[in-house]
Structures are given as structure tokens and as C-alpha cells.
Amino acid sequence: MTVDDVAEYLNKPRSWVYGNWKAEQIPFRKLGQSLRCRPADLDRWLDGQESA
């Protein structure tokens, strides 16, 4: 998933995702200059947010 995909999935602005991905520990991986996230990793991250 791209940053835009993740923003849409989380119902957050793209700027929020870029500004908070490290602090929120969103499971992105850098591919060159791009950030990518696996859907399964994002779902696991979301599940962890419910218990936090």
C-alpha cells in the first residue's frame, strides 16, 4: 500500500500519515524514496492500537 492508500484506509489526511508514521509506528518500509506498507501489517498495527 502507498501512503495515499494507507491515508484512505485510515480515513486520515495524507499529511497526517507522512507526519506521524514514525511516531505512531505505522509499519512502513522504505523502497528507495517511497514508503510502502503491507495490508496485513497495517491490520496487525490497527489491532494493536485498540488495546493501547
CA proximity to 17, closest of 33, 30, 31, 6: 6
Residue 51 pLDDT exceeds 80: no
Q: What is the mean pLDDT of residues 42-48?
A: 95
When pLDDT is cut at 50, 70 and 90, the band that residue 52 belongs to is low
CB 19 within 8 A of CB 3: no
Determine the residue type at 23. Answer: A
Q: Whole-angstrom Cα distance, residue 1 to residue 15? A: 16
* Model pLDDT, residue 50: 75
Q: Provide the whole-model pTM.
A: 0.88
pLDDT in tens, 17-44: 999 999 999 999 999 999 999 999 999 9
